[in-house]
Amino acid sequence: MKIKTSDGISEYRSTWMEDGVLKLIDQPKLPHEFKIFECKTVDEVANAIKTMVVRGAPAIGATACYGMAIAALTGEDLDGASEKLAKTRPTAHDLFDALEYFKKNFKDGDPVKIADDYANQGARRCELIGIHGAKLIKDGMKLLTHCNAGAIATVDWGTALAPMRVAKNEGKNIFVWVDETRPRCQGGRLTAWELGQEGIDHAVIADNAAGFFMRNGEVDLVIVGADRIALNGDVANKIGTYEKAVLARENGVPFYVAAPSTTIDRKLESGDEIPIEERSGDEIHFIWGFNDGGLRSRVRVTPKDSPARNPAFDVTPARYITGIITEEGIFKPNEI
C-alpha cells in the first residue's frame, strides 16, 4: 500500500521483518500519527497482537508467523512460542492457520523466509480478492463497509477494501459509507484513513445509521471482512456485522463477505462453534482520541458503577450472505 506521510509517499505493508526485528504499522495511533512499532521477542509480538497494535485476521496471522520466526532466531522453544501466540486473540482463524503453516514448513532453513512466504501469499490472496470482488462494483455505486478490512488489516490490499481499491484503479467512481464501529472505531479511524489515502470518496456514519441510509436507497452493496468462516458459510466478523446483514436483507441490498481461504475453519461445521473474544468493558466505558495539541486522551462516558459487556465479534448466519469473495472467486456461502 502507498502511504502519504510528512516525508512523502512510501510503499508499506502492515507487518514485515528487517534485520531480525518485526515492524508493524502502529494502528492505535492512526489516523493522527503514523508510527512504526518494533518487536524483538515473542512476548513483544504476542503483546502487540493482544493490545491490537496490529489487528485484522490476516495481519494477525502474518504477524504471528513472524513471531514464530523470531522464536526460531532467538532459540525459543517453538511449541511454547506457538502457545503464547495462540492465546492472544481467539476468534481470528488466520492466527491458527499461520502457526500451523510455520510449524509445517520450518525445518532448519531460514525462518524469516518461511514467514515472508506466508506474508507474500497472504498479500497475493487479497489482491485476487480485489480482482474478483471489483466485478461486483459498478460505476457510481454506493457501498457500505463495517470495521476495517483494509490493507492494514491484512498484509496488503485488504479484503473488503481490496475490491474498492481495484474498482477505483479501474476508473470507477464509487462512494463508501464507513460504519464508525464502536467501541474501538476501526471504521471511523482506520477505514476512513485508508480510503482517504486512496482518494476514495466516503463518509463516516454512526453505527446505528446504516438502516437509515439503506432504507433511503443510498446503499447499493455491502462488503465486509471476516475473522472466521465455518463450513456451513456462517461468518464471524466485527461486532455489529450481523445487524448490518439483517438490515441489508430487509432492504434488498446484496451483502458480501470478502476473505481469504486462511479465514475458513475447516474443523467447524457451523458458526455456533466459533469462539468469540470478549474484551475489557473499559473499551465501552471510555472513548479516546487525540486533542488539538496531538495528545491522546481518554474520556469516561458511562456512570462509574455501571457494568459493561464487550463481545468483539458476532456471527452472521449464512442465510443473510449473498456471496463470499475469496482468492478463488465468488461463492455462495453453502459452496464454501
Active site residues: 227
CA–CA dist 237, 7 (Å, integer): 35
Residue 278 DSSP symbol: B
Question: Per CB under 6 A, does 326 bind ligand MRU?
Answer: no
- Which of the stretches 31-39, 132-140, 150-158, 194-202 binds ligand MRU when contact is defined by CB under 6 A? 150-158
Please identify which residue in the block is written with the cell numbers 501466540. 85
Residues 84-113 binding ligand MRU (CB under 6 A) are 92
CA–CA dist 57, 27 (Å, integer): 14
Question: Per CB under 6 A, does 183 bind ligand MRU?
Answer: no
Question: Per CB under 6 A, does 268 bind ligand MRU?
Answer: no
Question: Per CB under 6 A, does 58 bind ligand MRU?
Answer: yes
Question: Per CB under 6 A, does 133 bind ligand MRU?
Answer: no
- From 159, 191, 316, 322, residue interacting with ligand MRU (rule: CB under 6 A): 159
Does the CA dihedral 11-41-261-312 come out positive or negative? negative
Residue of closest CB approach to ligand MRU: 225
Q: How far is the CB of 333 from ligand MRU (least distance, A)?
A: 16
Q: How far is the CB of 287 from ligand MRU (least distance, A)?
A: 16
Residue 138 DSSP symbol: P
- From 154, 316, 322, 326, residue interacting with ligand MRU (rule: CB under 6 A): 154
- From 253, 312, 318, 336, residue interacting with ligand MRU (rule: CB under 6 A): 312
- From 14, 15, 82, 186, residue interacting with ligand MRU (rule: CB under 6 A): 186
- Looking at the Cβ atoms of 202 and 238, the one nearer to ligand MRU is 238
Question: Per CB under 6 A, does 153 bind ligand MRU?
Answer: yes
With CA atoms as reference, report the closest residue to 85 among 103, 72, 99, 105. 99
CA–CA dist 242, 274 (Å, integer): 14
Which cell numbers hold the place of 278? 470478549
- Phi–psi pair at 159, nearest 5 degrees: -110, -75
Question: Per CB under 6 A, does 238 bind ligand MRU?
Answer: yes
CA–CA dist 226, 56 (Å, integer): 9
Q: What are the C-alpha distances in Å from 7 to residues 25, 34, 200? A: 16, 11, 22
SS3 at position 57? helix
Pairing of strands 329-331, 323-326: antiparallel
- From 147, 155, 248, 274, residue interacting with ligand MRU (rule: CB under 6 A): 147
Question: Per CB under 6 A, does 56 bind ligand MRU?
Answer: yes
Q: Which residues bind ligand MRU (CB under 6 A)?
A: 55-58, 92, 147, 149, 153-154, 158-159, 186, 225-227, 237-238, 312
